[in-house]
Amino acid sequence: MRALFLVLMLALAGGLHAQTAVPTEDDPLTAKREVDLASKLRCLVCQNQSIADSHAGLAVDLRRQIREQIAAGKSDTEIVNFMTDRYGDFVLYEPPFKATTLLLWLGPLLLLGLGAVVVVRVIRRRKQAAPPLSNDERARAAALLGGKESGQ
């Protein structure tokens, strides 16, 4: 009984110990944050890949940087700022909303609005361009359609 207890204690202690000594990259939450952040950032060496996808030396270094900063308790915003301070907004796949990117963000809406205005104007003009038929015209149309006015 006592031996069993001892074995149990040892097993438990081992379990506890393993939990505290897990390296950062094995902690699923940290790993997920690292991957999430890394996939938002462009690798400048191979510009069409994110830092998460790339095997370039710089991407590896920047992932290490992200991991260390997470371990140091930095917030996501702080880590992203660290990157943009050094590499500019270009590292972000999603450009920030600010004065210089206003046209980029609002351009499509602007074009949509412009298109809507044009469509409305064209429709209005068409309505005006087709005045109601006179009785004579109506009769002629009916004749052409084979006398079936109900077809209208």
Partner 1 sequence: MKKAAFYLIPLAAFVILAVFLLRGLWLNPREVPSPLIGKAAPVFERPTLNKPGLQFASKEMLGQVWVFNVWASWCTPCRQEHPLWNELAAKKLVPIIGMNYKDDAGAARKWLTDLGDPYTLTIVDGDGRLGIDYGVYGVPETFIIDKQGLIRHKHIGPVTPEAMEKKIVPLVRELQKS
* List of residues contacting partner 1 (CB under 8 A): 44-45, 47, 57-58, 61-62, 65, 84-90
CB of 138 to partner 1, least distance (A): 29
CB of 121 to partner 1, least distance (A): 10
CB of 90 to partner 1, least distance (A): 5
Shorter beta-carbon distance to partner 1: residue 117 or 139: 117
Structure tokens at 104: 């980029």
Taking each helix axis from N to C end, the angle separating 28-40 and 57-71, rounded to the nearest 10 degrees, works out to 130
With left for phi above 0 and alpha for psi between -120 and 50, is residue 73 left, alpha or beta? left
Query: CA 143, CA 137: separation in Å to the nearest integer?
Result: 10
Shorter beta-carbon distance to partner 1: residue 61 or 137: 61
Shorter beta-carbon distance to partner 1: residue 111 or 133: 111
**Residue written as token pair 């991991």:** 67
The Cα-based distances of 151 to 14, 70, 140, 143, 145 in angstroms read 88, 74, 14, 12, 8
Query: CA 64, CA 139: separation in Å to the nearest integer?
Result: 84
CB of 56 to partner 1, least distance (A): 9
Shorter beta-carbon distance to partner 1: residue 30 or 65: 65
